[in-house]
Structure 1
Amino acid sequence: MATLMALECLVALVDEGSVTKAAAALHMSQPALSHQIAALERELGTPVVERMTRGIRVTAAGRAAAEEAKLALEAAERAVQVGRRVGEGLGGRLRIACAETMTAWLLVPVLRQWRTKWPQVSLDLQEFSSADRMVEELMADGTDLVVGPEPTATTAHVEVLGQEEVVIVSSPNHAFADRDSVKVSDLAGEPFVHYDATNGMGAWVDEFVADYGTRLDVVLRTRSPRTAAQLAGAGMGVTIVPVSALAGRFSATVRRMEPRVHRDILAITLTPSDALVRRFVADPRRRGLPRVNTERQVQL
């Protein structure tokens, strides 16, 4: 296949009309330019120039090839410019997978700022209810960056963005409203809004309460912590949610656990040196995780 250098030499010959001028324009020797032209002619199987007593004359094949070569060289230059912009974090495409509760709670201000400051960057967002499922997507090259709680295991690069508190939610008139905090043992006998198997929070809750020797009285299950919080606020039972699930407006009693419980929020990627990934991860780290009022009965 013809090299870009050979095509550049052909275009210079057409533009300059002589080997001497073409070589000077490309800052190369005449023998080197002639070598490139000879290689191109072997590739095409036909002469691109006729050697005359005084100078050269470009053939019809040479002129036709030169027209296409100009397009190829322009495309190559655009490729270089795009690569530089993306390498500087100023353009390109970034695919983000996040826990479904993280979008409104954590990422909306980050995404809004990126849309304003770097409109050349295309952002793709997918929401998941399982950290393990997000990591699977990352390993299958379905996303560039995962934002969410800790998965079961991963060999990818991990950065901690901060810690998110896990709290108890009940209705505004529940007995928990008169307490400053709630123990895990207080959940025994309470109707409990749990999670189905598609949400990694379900396995976490089961393991967590088992460590305290407590059994839950499950009355219904949902895929979403946000839905669980709203159902608990509506009096369907009590539930355990991360504070990121409390975005939106609904009446509920939110209480800290005793002792308080937190989970790490992570940024996970296979390309930590990528400029877009580095810049995006730096943004929520600089901002810090949002705070939620867990000290009183609130309408969120």
Structure 2
Amino acid sequence: MPTLRALECFVAVVDCGSVTAASVRLHLSQPALSHQLAALESEIGTPLLERLPRGVRPTPTGLAILADAEAALASADRVVRTGRALSDGSHGRVRLACVESMTVPVLAPILRTWARKYRDVDIELTEHSSADAMADGVAHGDIDLAVGPPSNRFTGRVAELGTEDIVAVIPEGLDLTDETAVSWTELRERSMVHYHPSNGLRVWIDAEASARDVALTPSTRTRSASTAAQLARAGLGIALVPVTALPSRFDGVVKPMRPPLRRTVVAMIGSPSDPLVQRFVADLLRRGIPGNRPL
């Protein structure tokens, strides 16, 4: 197999028209360059250059392989340039995953900045309702970085980003609308807008309620926290939703829990050595979780 160095010497000699000029261009001694040419001709099995009284010119075989030799060198150069661009984080791809309620308040501001600053970086974003599903995606190599609540399934590197408050959305006219906060005992035997099993909030909220000896009474279930807030506003029951799931101009009745109910937000990192992933995690840590206290 011809080496790239031998092909480089051959192309340089053809371009320059002499071994002497090519050796100057490549910063090689003439014996070293001649050795590369001899090795290439031996590999191919026929002369590639015709030695003239003043200089050299390619043989018919040399002319026939010249374009391919140039293409091979160009491809090798692209490999190096692409690799360097990826290593310094100026080009590449980041495959992100996020719980749906955090896409707009947490990721959108960072994505907007990246779209302006890093035009040669492709961002692929998928939304999930389950931290376990994201953890599996990261573990299997399908996701580079996932943002959401922690998952017991994930054993890789995790960066804590902050906490988010879980609040109660109360239907208008309910007696709890006059309270400054809602306790768990006040939720007992109340109609609740709860979550479908595919949404990780269901298991987490049920565990929090059970720890306080409260059994919730779902009147309806949904896969989306944003939809749960709207259904509660429409009067179908009380919903416990992350504040990140509430639109900025939500006009429903929202009460904090007493005591405050919060869950941790993390970044599950599948490619910790990737410079783009490192940069995105740094931006996440710098921004934190809007409207919530940092850890």
How far the C-alpha of 1:54 sits from its partner, in A, is 6.2
**1:8-27 alignment to 2 at 5 Å?**
8-27=8-27
How far the C-alpha of 1:204 sits from its partner, in A, is 0.8
Gap change, CA 1:46 and 1:172, over 3 Å in 2:
farther
CA distance in structure 2 between the aligned counterparts of 1:81 and 1:90, rounded to whole angstroms: 11
1:66 matched to which residue of 2?
Answer: 66
2:78 matched to which residue of 1?
Answer: 78
How far the C-alpha of 1:110 sits from its partner, in A, is 1.0
Report Cα offsets for 1:98-144 as digits up to 9, x if no partner: 11111112111111111112212111111111111112112222121
TM-score computed with the length of structure 2 as normaliser: 0.92
Q: Work out the number of aligned pairs and report it.
A: 292
Q: Given that residues 19 and 56 in structure 2 are in contact (C-alpha distance below 8 angstroms), is that contact kept between their aligned partners in structure 1?
A: yes
Report the AA paired with residue 6 of structure 2: A
2:247 matched to which residue of 1?
Answer: 247
How far the C-alpha of 1:197 sits from its partner, in A, is 1.5
1:231 matched to which residue of 2?
Answer: 231
CA distance in structure 1 between the aligned counterparts of 2:45 and 2:249, rounded to whole angstroms: 73
Report the AA paired with residue 254 of structure 2: V
How far the C-alpha of 1:33 sits from its partner, in A, is 2.0
Report Cα offsets for 1:120-179 as digits up to 9, x if no partner: 211111111111111211222212111111012312211111111112112233222211
2:191 matched to which residue of 1?
Answer: 191
Q: Does 1:128 align with 2:128?
A: yes
Report the AA paired with residue 258 of structure 1: R
Q: Which runs of 5+ in 2 are unaligned?
A: none
1:107 matched to which residue of 2?
Answer: 107
Q: Given that residues 149 and 266 in structure 1 are in contact (C-alpha distance below 8 angstroms), is that contact kept between their aligned partners in structure 2?
A: yes
2:214 matched to which residue of 1?
Answer: 214
Q: Given that residues 143 and 270 in structure 2 are in contact (C-alpha distance below 8 angstroms), is that contact kept between their aligned partners in structure 1?
A: no
CA distance in structure 1 between the aligned counterparts of 2:113 and 2:11, rounded to whole angstroms: 44
For 1:285, what is the secondary structure of its paired residue?
Answer: helix
Q: Given that residues 159 and 266 in structure 2 are in contact (C-alpha distance below 8 angstroms), is that contact kept between their aligned partners in structure 1?
A: yes
Q: Which runs of 5+ in 1 are unaligned?
A: 293-300
Gap change, CA 1:16 and 1:237, over 3 Å in 2:
same
2:287 matched to which residue of 1?
Answer: 287
2:169 matched to which residue of 1?
Answer: 169
For 2:252, what is the secondary structure of its paired residue?
Answer: strand
Gap change, CA 1:199 and 1:42, over 3 Å in 2:
farther
Report the AA paired with residue 221 of structure 1: R
TM-score computed with the length of structure 1 as normaliser: 0.90
Q: Given that residues 191 and 236 in structure 1 are in contact (C-alpha distance below 8 angstroms), is that contact kept between their aligned partners in structure 2?
A: yes
Deviates more, 1:113-122 or 1:80-89: 80-89
CA distance in structure 1 between the aligned counterparts of 2:78 and 2:260, rounded to whole angstroms: 54
1:3 matched to which residue of 2?
Answer: 3
2:93 matched to which residue of 1?
Answer: 93
Deviates more, 1:165-174 or 1:48-57: 48-57
Deviates more, 1:70-79 or 1:175-184: 70-79
Q: Given that residues 139 and 154 in structure 2 are in contact (C-alpha distance below 8 angstroms), is that contact kept between their aligned partners in structure 1?
A: no
Q: Does 1:152 align with 2:148?
A: no
Gap change, CA 1:4 and 1:258, over 3 Å in 2:
same
How far the C-alpha of 1:29 sits from its partner, in A, is 2.3
Report Cα offsets for 1:243-281 as digits up to 9, x if no partner: 111125443221211111221111121222322112112
Gap change, CA 1:132 and 1:39, over 3 Å in 2:
farther
How far the C-alpha of 1:283 sits from its partner, in A, is 1.6
Q: Given that residues 150 and 266 in structure 1 are in contact (C-alpha distance below 8 angstroms), is that contact kept between their aligned partners in structure 2?
A: yes
CA RMSD of aligned residues (A): 1.9
CA distance in structure 2 between the aligned counterparts of 1:183 and 1:137, rounded to whole angstroms: 36
Q: Given that residues 171 and 251 in structure 1 are in contact (C-alpha distance below 8 angstroms), is that contact kept between their aligned partners in structure 2?
A: no
For 2:176, what is the secondary structure of its paired residue?
Answer: helix
Q: Percent identity?
A: 46
